[in-house]
Structure 1
Amino acid sequence: MQATVAVFGILRFPPDQMEEVRRHLKALVDATYRNDGCIAYDVGEDPFDPGLIRFSELWPSHEALDRHLKAPHIEPWRVVARRCGLMERKFVAYDVAATRDV
């Protein structure tokens, strides 16, 4: 399956909330892979900036991304994120014109 949409984003939480965030984030990632048709959905904590989580995602279409954003597991995650003190959220979707190995 070829990606036509790439998403890059960040979430920032108070560092003392990260243990709780991780538990719920794992459920989000698992549900996304299981149900939403993503090609890749990668999440990582920034080792140099405590509380910062980086996302990189590949989707086969804008429609698939839109379905993901409306999926049943998204709103519970958003509720948990707010409860854990979400401080910043930035995501940008890019159209993928072509890919090549580098």
Structure 2
Amino acid sequence: MKAKVAVFGTLRFPAENIEKVLPHLKALVSSTYANDGCIAYDVAEDPFDKGLIRFSELWPSRESLENHLKASHIEPWRAQARKYGLTEREFNSYDLSSDAVAV
């Protein structure tokens, strides 16, 4: 499946809450892969900036991304993120116009 949309983003939590956030983040990632039609949905804590979570996502269409943002597992995740002190959120999406090339 060819990716048409890429998303890159970050979330920031208080460093002391990150271990509490991870199980909820894992549930989000699992549900997204199982239900939302993503090509890739990768999440990792920045090893040099405790509490910063980085996202990279590939979607087959803008519509599939929009559907993901309305999926039933998104609001429970957002509630947990607020509960554990989400302090920053930044996401950007990009339409991909050509095939990816290995660099």
TM-score (norm 1): 0.99
Q: Displacement, 1:80?
A: 0.3
- Hey, what's the Cα distance between the residues in 2 that align with 1:75 and 1:27? 12
1:101 aligned onto 2:73: no
Aligned pair count reads 102
Partner residue in 1 for 2:41: 41
Q: Deviations over 1:28-68 (max 9, x none)?
A: 00000000000000000000000000000000000000000
1:62 aligned onto 2:66: no
1:51 aligned onto 2:51: yes
Give unmatched runs, 5+ long, in structure 2: none
Tell me the SS of whatever aligns to 2:49.
Answer: coil
Q: Displacement, 1:26?
A: 0.3
1:19 aligned onto 2:19: yes
Q: Displacement, 1:101?
A: 1.5
Q: Displacement, 1:97?
A: 1.0
Name the % identity. Answer: 67
Tell me the SS of whatever aligns to 2:10.
Answer: strand
Q: Displacement, 1:20?
A: 0.8
TM-score (norm 2): 0.98
Give unmatched runs, 5+ long, in structure 1: none
- Hey, what's the Cα distance between the residues in 2 that align with 1:48 and 1:19? 16
